[in-house]
A and B are shown apart, each in its own frame.
Chain A
């Protein structure tokens, strides 16, 4: 079956270090992949979108990579801060005309 997998266990990172979150997928060849941030009880907020022909995308302290051979996307936050603590959702779009499919998210805690 088609799946998107994100680490269900919370990730604890020391402030100032780089946090790396993983999104693995099976049985897809997605047109593009997105990352969202969600704070407790609030709606997800769009962060970055990376397309199948792009290897890497950056936005300020955020970096996303997309490896279609490994079927994996990595989401990096450099110089992490306690304010970065949240749940991060990976979402993929199988084909350009398909609906978006969300992973269940990974909780990130940045420890002061």
Chain B
């Protein structure tokens, strides 16, 4: 089954404790992206990647890192999480090079930073 898999589904952590949210897709998509979704603000793009070893900032990249060492994986790293990073996070992938057609989303990671 074609899917984007994120882990963990829920995560509670404390300020400053480094964490990684994993994302994997099995559709051989070139494009992968991370979004955060907050009430009243909609989906905002954090980082995206159009190919292995190629990553670019989205609209809200501050406080986040990503890497794309393999085509299928695109982890999101929070080196020093802060309470304003409490949010619902989604990984997405697409067959289109620009990631602007038919995005496939993961099930989400609800992060709480205390």
Interface residues of chain A, those whose CB is within 8 Å of chain B, are 32, 34, 36, 41-46, 49, 89, 93, 96-100, 102-105
Q: Which 8 A-B pairs have the closest CB atoms?
A: A43-B105, A104-B42, A100-B100, A93-B100, A102-B43, A46-B102, A44-B105, A43-B90
The residues of B that contact A49 with a CB separation of less than 8 Å are 101-102
Q: Which of B103, B104, B106 has the most C-beta atoms of chain A within 10 angstroms of its own C-beta?
A: B103
The answer to whether residues A89 and B98 also contact, given A41-B88, A42-B107, A43-B90 and a CB cut-off of 8 A, is no
- Counting contact residues on chain B (CB < 8 A from A), the size range is 20 to 34
Does B75 interact with chain A (Cβ within 8 Å)? no
How many A-B pairs have beta carbons closer than 8 Å: the answer is: 51
The answer to whether residues A41 and B110 also contact, given A103-B42, A104-B40 and a CB cut-off of 8 A, is yes
Interface residue SS majority, chain A = loop
Q: How far is the CB of A44 from chain B (nearest CB, A)?
A: 5
The residues of B that contact A89 with a CB separation of less than 8 Å are 42-43
